[in-house]
Structure 1
Amino acid sequence: MNSEAIIECVPNFSEGTDLSKVSRIVQAMQVPSVSLLDWSLDLAHNRSVVTIAGPAEAVVESAIRGAGKAAEIVDLTRQNGVHPRIGAADVIPFIPVSGASLAECALLARQAGVSLWRRYGIPVYFYGASAARPDRVQLEDVRRGQFEGLRDAVRREAARRPDIGGPDLHETAGASAVGARSFLVAYNVHLRQPDITTARAMARDIRASNGGLHGVKALGVIANDRAQVSMNITDHVATPMTKVYARLKELALRYGAELDDSELIGLIPEAAYEKDAEWIAKIPNFDPALKVVERRLKNPLEWPVAGSTVGGSGRL
């Protein structure tokens, strides 16, 4: 790998209601030469997302430390939220930004997975480009049944056991899905009507697995008492965000709903940003200097210190 390569990692932690806990996780991730680009809590989904970037080995170490701290302070037997999860450090994806390939990020994911098990006793499933089995490429297949269902399944079915560690899950921290992928856009659109049935129908029609748009994963949920179509766009090149939003407008018309405001979780790449697009205009207070990866790299956040109460997204 190029010695000047920049790798992004976007770990998702199963804690979104306690700022002090998330702050401690982020503090634990501070490693020399790693930049903190974004961190935020989502109370409705009970989930937090952290974005870091830097040299490969340093980013791997940062992610591992964050997962270890999450295992220490997040107890999945007491945690719940609308977002599917199998672990305290639920998902740890590595993404090439510059000077690195997806295949090289897959190797980093494998290294991180081995370290997670050896250092903290957290079993690991590899997904995406680092998947060790074809039935684990898709994250939703790995997370089937969530923590509770997977905890029981690994005791009955050898096919559900982790790739590294186990066979049982960690008693309170579950397991982590560690992978490599290209940039994705985590994008949620609210409906004016609190109608979960309509949100689910729209999500069903737009997601790729049901014959919708290529590279779109979607769920219909209620978040903060609002109906929401929660999406991951995994191929923004083949399916630009403008196309995603246009399809949502068509579906809203079909089901007699109205689209309200939208939100981005984490950052987006420069290639996905469309300055005057309608989908951007629907995101309150959107600032490309804060939400576009390449721009944020030029002006990263300060790492939080003990007692910190402010996150990088300004939404905490």
Structure 2
Amino acid sequence: MVRLECVPNISEGRRRDVIDACVEAASTRGVRVLDVSSDPDHNRTVLTLLGAGGDLVRAVTALAAAAIERIDVAGHSGVHPFLGALDVAPFVPLEAQQMPAAVDAALRAADELAPLDLPVFLYGEASSTPSRAVLADHRRGGLARLGERMASGEWLPDRGPNRLHTTAGAVCVGARPPLVAFNLLLDTDQIAAAKRIASALRESGGGLPGVRALGFFLESRGQAQVSVNLTDCDRTSLPDVVRRADELAAAAGVRVVETELVGLAPRRVLPEGGAEALRLPEFSERQILESHL
């Protein structure tokens, strides 16, 4: 039996009753819920699930049904880009040679989610063509713009109806290698500084390989944040990200005061000195993926 990781994100990070109901729905037979990370400013919850492909498909389908029942994206507010109540559901191999199993699970999940009246967009290794592999391309312009792109025929779903669900939007389902979600908190409330740092950090802007980054303002903390996705830990390490962010922050006249790890990360991405070296004030051994295996 090949075990996979699945990291579904739902567009709710504030209402505890909704989050709990969705987590309970995902806790199906054969699936372990390894981690649940919620953020009120992003208004988003990231679940980390572990199980065989078929079991994970059932869990994601149950999670989608619970999210559709409780989350209306028409009234959604949060700094993180989103398209749906169940926003993304990536399947992640624990070893590189397991990617075909992750792709198979993603395709099966897409088949199960479409009957819930959800338009399903495939990305990553599960994408229908290389031109649709990048998640950000599906999100480009936001939810309303996606509806227009679908109506015009410019960007059609891979499964499901060619229209947005009236309350649950759309869902992106993919297969990808492990990704590390890592946030940098600045000692300023100026979102412009966060956006400049994020732009220079991003690979697409000539920054670090395998880095995607966005700048946000977190109202609940009164701080600006640089939110980083590290997609290739072999080319860029977390210490590389922190060092470069420090340089960029200094040039902008601000400082990176602390960081946070969202969800789980492979042990190999943590440096010697661990949490202290990365300025992680809150860190647990349970945030290391291997501690659950």
TM-score by length of 1: 0.89
Residue 119 (structure 2) aligns with: 123
Give the alignment partner of residue 100 of structure 2, picking from 91, 100, 103: 103
Residue 174 (structure 2) aligns with: 179
Classify 1:117/1:183 alpha carbon distance in 2 versus 1 (closer, same or farther; 3 Å): same
Structure 2 CA distance, aligned partners of 1:268 and 1:90? 21
Residue 166 (structure 1) aligns with: 161
Q: Which amino acid aligns with 1:20?
A: D
Q: Which amino acid aligns with 1:147?
A: L
Residue 69 (structure 1) aligns with: 66
Is the aligned partner of 1:114 residue 2:133? no
1:214-293 counterparts in 2 under 5 A? 214-223=209-218, 224=220, 225-277=222-274, 280-288=277-285, 290-293=286-289
Give the alignment partner of residue 36 of structure 1, picking from 33, 40, 51: 33
Secondary structure at the residue paired with 1:160? coil
Residue identity over aligned pairs, in percent, reads 36
Secondary structure at the residue paired with 2:94? strand
Structure 1 CA distance, aligned partners of 2:79 and 2:266? 27
**Which structure carries more helix by proportion?**
2
Q: Which amino acid aligns with 2:119?
A: P
Give the alignment partner of residue 58 of structure 1, picking from 36, 55, 59: 55
Q: Which amino acid aligns with 1:56?
A: G
Deviation, 1:287, is 1.3
Residues 4 and 93, structure 2, Cα contact 8 Å, conserved in 1 = yes
Deviation, 1:153, is 2.5
Is the aligned partner of 1:205 residue 2:200? yes
Residues 35 and 54, structure 1, Cα contact 8 Å, conserved in 2 = yes
RMSD across aligned positions (CA): 1.4
Q: Which amino acid aligns with 1:189?
A: L
Structure 1 CA distance, aligned partners of 2:239 and 2:14? 32
Residues 208 and 217, structure 1, Cα contact 8 Å, conserved in 2 = yes
Larger RCO (CA within 8 A; separation ≥ 6): 1
Q: Which amino acid aligns with 1:121?
A: D
Residue 186 (structure 2) aligns with: 191
Residues 241 and 279, structure 1, Cα contact 8 Å, conserved in 2 = no
**C-alpha offsets along residues 240-273 of structure 1, whole Å, 9 cap, x if unaligned?**
1111111111111211111111111111012212
Residue 301 (structure 1) aligns with: none
Q: Which amino acid aligns with 2:177?
A: S
Q: Which runs of 5+ in 2 are unaligned?
A: none
Give the alignment partner of residue 139 of structure 1, picking from 112, 118, 135: 135
Residues 238 and 278, structure 2, Cα contact 8 Å, conserved in 1 = no
Is the aligned partner of 1:151 residue 2:154? no
Q: Which amino acid aligns with 1:129?
A: E
Secondary structure at the residue paired with 2:121? strand
Deviation, 1:274, is 2.1
Classify 1:212/1:281 alpha carbon distance in 2 versus 1 (closer, same or farther; 3 Å): closer
Structure 2 CA distance, aligned partners of 1:192 and 1:77? 33
Deviation, 1:158, is 0.8
Structure 1 CA distance, aligned partners of 2:241 and 2:96? 29
Secondary structure at the residue paired with 1:77? helix
1:20-35 counterparts in 2 under 5 A? 20-35=17-32
Residues 19 and 41, structure 1, Cα contact 8 Å, conserved in 2 = no
Structure 2 CA distance, aligned partners of 1:97 and 1:185? 14
Residues 214 and 238, structure 1, Cα contact 8 Å, conserved in 2 = yes
Structure 1 CA distance, aligned partners of 2:164 and 2:7? 22
Q: Kindly report structure 1 stretches of 4+ aligned residues shifted beyond 3 Å.
A: 277-281
Secondary structure at the residue paired with 2:215? strand
Residues 120 and 172, structure 2, Cα contact 8 Å, conserved in 1 = yes
Corresponding residue pairs, total: 291
Structure 2 CA distance, aligned partners of 1:261 and 1:208? 22
Residues 34 and 52, structure 1, Cα contact 8 Å, conserved in 2 = yes
Residues 96 and 177, structure 2, Cα contact 8 Å, conserved in 1 = no
Secondary structure at the residue paired with 1:252? helix
